[in-house]
Each structure stands twice: as C-alpha cells, then as structure tokens.
Chains A and B, each alone.
Chain A
C-alpha cells in the first residue's frame, strides 16, 4: 500500500514536472516568436518612445555632447532598419556587378549620413513634436507593409510620415521613409545612380564618407 502510494507520488511529480517544463518551453518559444514578430506599428511606437524618453530624461547630457545623440539613435534605431536592402534599392542597376562587400560598405556609409542628420533633427525638434501611429491596414502576413504616422508640427500642421517595412528572418525591418509622399529611397536613387554609373561605387562611397557628397531628403 505504502509502496503504491510512493509510486503514485513519483508519477504525479514526474507528470507535474513535465507539464511545467512543457509550459515553460512553450512560453519561452512564444516569447521568442513574439520577439521576432513584433508588429511593425508596435516597433515604430517602441523605437520612437524609447528615443523620446531617453532624450527627455537626459536633455542636459545631450545638449552638452550632441555626439551622444548619434550613439543613442544608432543603438535604438538601427536594429529596426534594413539598411542593406535600402542600399540595394537605391543602387538599382548602378549596383550591378558590385560585390556584397562593396554594397555593404555603401549601405554603411549612407546609414551613417542618415543617423547624423536624424540625430541633429531629434535634438532640435524631438521633444516638442507629437507622434501618432495610425492603425495598420492590410494583411500582416504579406512580405511588406506600411506603417502610417502623423507628426504634429510646431505650427499645428500634421506631417504624414510613413515607414515601409519588410519581413526578414530577424523580424520586421524598415527600409524606406516616405514624408508627404516623398520617398527617401526614390529621391536618393535619382541622385546617386548617375554618380555611381559615372565614377563607380567605391568612389561614391568614399565621397559620401568624407562628407564631400551631400544627400538631400
């Protein structure tokens, strides 16, 4: 009788352990998936929220040393971007025959220019403007989706700013920003392509890095 009881206890304990560990594993897996699959609109909200909170909390630090803003933007914003994909779109036919290393170097340089500019803009306007993220439209399972936002400007106007996302192995990542219908990728393309065709990708990357070549948004 006692033996049976012990056996029963052991079985129950085993079953319980199994159930708990299974639940834990499922929970972890779910968490992992959720991590990867943060919907793009939530990503925009998270990134903007983190940036603004940090800026507002440490205004003195950033006013004293603006390079810190660049570091902050790089840390928070970059993981949500697919700069190499943007670079490919910008290069288009001008990038034919370029090695993956050349494209990566070009992407790196373009993103540095952008971060610099974004950071100075953040410092100037960041905490005074309000961001509203509109509800997503369309199917989230598509390969690409667009997050629409409205930025309320100082003069009361609302500026429409859209982020175009694509699904990657590491979750959703943005590759284009569209301000009032004006796409960064398209505008860069038409400025960059003729130069790459004329003097080659390495020369253009180098000029960008040296700040000799300015990009407009």
Chain B
C-alpha cells in the first residue's frame, strides 16, 4: 500500500518557482511516453535530495515517534488530522458537483468533531458514513486537466504540476495551514508530517529494495493519484496493449 504524503500547505515561493519552471518548459514537445515525466533529470536529483533528508532527519524522527507512541494513540492522532481534511474535501466536492458526497463529508466532519473528541475518535466510520478524499488537484483533473507532468518538490515529494497548484489552493483553506499563516502556529504542521511519515514506515522496505526506487515511487504515486481522481474506479488498464508489444 502506498499512501500519498498529504502535506496540505504550500508556501508561495514554491508556487512561484513552479510557475517559473512551467513557463520555462512551455516550449518542450509533449512527451509521448506512457509516463508523463519529461523533467526526469531534475526529478531524479530532487528525489535523491529528498531521500537523503528522509534518511537523516524525517525517518529517524518518525521511528522515534512510532516507538514511544502506543498504537491506539497513533490511530487517534491519525484520525484527528484526517478529520481536518473533510472541510476541504467537501468544498471540492461542491466544485465537482458531487452533492451527496458533500453531505457525507460534512456529516463526517461534524460527527467526528462534536462527538469524537475533536476528531480523535472516528465516530463516522463506526456509523459507516462513506469516506472520500478530494482536493483541488483532483478538482482540476475532473474539470479537464487530466494529464499533468510528474514533478518532485523539495521536502514535500511527488506531485504533478496540476497537483502542485491544487495543493496551494488546498493549503489556503486548510485549518492547519491557516493556523500557521494567520496565527504563526507551526507545530501542527510538523506533527502532521511526522505522523504521516510514521504511517509510511512499513512501506520503507519495499521501496528501498526496489531496483529503481525513483521509478517505483513515481509509478506508485501516479497510479494512486489516478485512483483518487476517479474516486476508486479508474478506467481499466490496457493489458492487451502490453501483450501486443510482446507479440509484434
């Protein structure tokens, strides 16, 4: 299982850098490779940088957190941060015209916040309220920006250009980034990054053992992203095309 690193904030400088890079690359011909990764050279370098940062900073911290925090507490903290996503999810459901789902996300947020100790207990799941995952990057995809090139951000990791823009919008509305921006409270950001990294610890082995960790992370991330955009029901893979390649 791969879980996307949800980092709901994005600083303005990053956005500017992205726009700049996008503008520079505007003249490049469209990549016909099935994986849209024309910036592979840059992406690989940034991936290596992020891996180094992870190895010496993020991972050791996450291992420490995982060791001293009992599982039920970790689950509660994970629930708390997940619950904070539902307002942004709901907003994007409205933008995508998914009104029933908007109702469910609102119900989730209210039930967990009011009756679930501010979200630490996932009351809504016990009541089988469906759970959705939306952000502005997905909304842009639903609106027609389906194919976007892969783009590795410093520290924050895998994105596409579309999702980089989407995250900045997302961050604007997210309670945690609101707290940082308006109140100057930064510890929730650090805490969220830490708990997300800790939840990914079981995946480390698979990634480190892979022949090409860059390709592994990229392909897994892009596939999961597509899965989320299509709300868990993406178009069937073209297996016949794989086979024809062999038999040609």
CB <8 Å contact, B2 and A180: yes
Chain A residues bordering chain B, tally (CB within 8 A): 36
User: B223 at the A/B interface (Cβ < 8 Å)?
Assistant: yes
In angstroms, Cα B243 to Cα A176, docked, is 13
CB <8 Å contact, A185 and B1: no
Minimum CB distance partner of A89 in chain B: B242
Main secondary structure on A side of the interface with B: mixed
In the complex, the number of residue pairs spanning A and B with C-beta atoms less than 8 Å apart equals 91
Q: Contact partner of B248 among A88, A96, A180, A181, CB < 8 A?
A: A96
On chain A, the residues within 8 Å of B215 by CB distance are 190-191
Q: Contact partner of B75 among A155, A159, A190, A215, CB < 8 A?
A: A155
CB <8 Å contact, B227 and A180: yes
Task: Give the contacts of A22-53 with B (CB-CB under 8 A).
Answer: none
User: A189 at the A/B interface (Cβ < 8 Å)?
Assistant: yes
A181-B227, A181-B232 given as contacts; is B212 within 8 A of A93 (CB)? Answer: no
On chain B, the residues within 8 Å of A217 by CB distance are 206
On chain A, the residues within 8 Å of B242 by CB distance are 88-89, 92, 185, 189
In angstroms, Cα B199 to Cα A156, docked, is 13
Interface pick from B16-24, B41-49, B160-168, B233-241: B233-241
User: B145 at the A/B interface (Cβ < 8 Å)?
Assistant: no
CB <8 Å contact, A181 and B210: no
Task: Give the contacts of A75-134 with B (CB-CB under 8 A).
Answer: 88-89, 91-93, 95-96
Taking the closest CB of chain B, its distance from the CB of A90, in whole angstroms, is 8
CB <8 Å contact, A179 and B1: yes
Taking the closest CB of chain A, its distance from the CB of B67, in whole angstroms, is 17
CB <8 Å contact, A156 and B122: yes
On chain B, the residues within 8 Å of A190 by CB distance are 35, 212, 215, 219
On chain A, the residues within 8 Å of B232 by CB distance are 160, 181
On chain A, the residues within 8 Å of B31 by CB distance are none
User: A15 at the A/B interface (Cβ < 8 Å)?
Assistant: no
On chain B, the residues within 8 Å of A192 by CB distance are 211
CB <8 Å contact, A214 and B209: yes
On chain A, the residues within 8 Å of B194 by CB distance are none
User: B116 at the A/B interface (Cβ < 8 Å)?
Assistant: no
CB <8 Å contact, B236 and A181: no
CB <8 Å contact, B239 and A176: yes
Minimum CB distance partner of B209 in chain A: A214
On chain A, the residues within 8 Å of B210 by CB distance are 191, 214-216
User: A187 at the A/B interface (Cβ < 8 Å)?
Assistant: yes
In angstroms, Cα B78 to Cα A215, docked, is 29
Task: Give the contacts of A174-205 with B (CB-CB under 8 A).
Answer: 175-176, 179-183, 185-187, 189-192, 194-195
In angstroms, Cα B211 to Cα A192, docked, is 8
A156-B75, A216-B207 given as contacts; is B220 within 8 A of A182 (CB)? Answer: yes
A88-B246, A186-B219, A217-B206 given as contacts; is B211 within 8 A of A181 (CB)? Answer: no
Interface centre among A95, A179, A181, A192 (most CB of B within 10 A): A181
User: A146 at the A/B interface (Cβ < 8 Å)?
Assistant: yes
In angstroms, Cα B215 to Cα A154, docked, is 29
CB <8 Å contact, A93 and B239: no
User: B228 at the A/B interface (Cβ < 8 Å)?
Assistant: yes
CB-defined A-B contacts under 8 Å, sample of 27 = A88-B242, A88-B246, A95-B246, A96-B245, A155-B78, A175-B239, A176-B239, A180-B1, A181-B224, A181-B232, A181-B234, A182-B219, A183-B237, A185-B239, A187-B220, A190-B35, A191-B210, A191-B212, A191-B215, A191-B216, A192-B211, A195-B211, A215-B210, A216-B206, A216-B211, A216-B216, A217-B206
Can you list the 8 inter-chain pairs with the closest CB atoms, starting with the nearest?
A: A181-B227, A216-B210, A214-B209, A93-B245, A92-B245, A89-B242, A216-B206, A182-B223
Which residues of B does A touch, CB under 8 Å?
1-2, 35, 71, 75, 78, 122, 125, 206-207, 209-212, 215-216, 219-220, 223-224, 226-228, 232, 234, 236-237, 239, 242-243, 245-246, 248
Which residues of A does B touch, CB under 8 Å?
88-89, 91-93, 95-96, 144, 146, 154-156, 159-160, 164, 175-176, 179-183, 185-187, 189-192, 194-195, 213-217
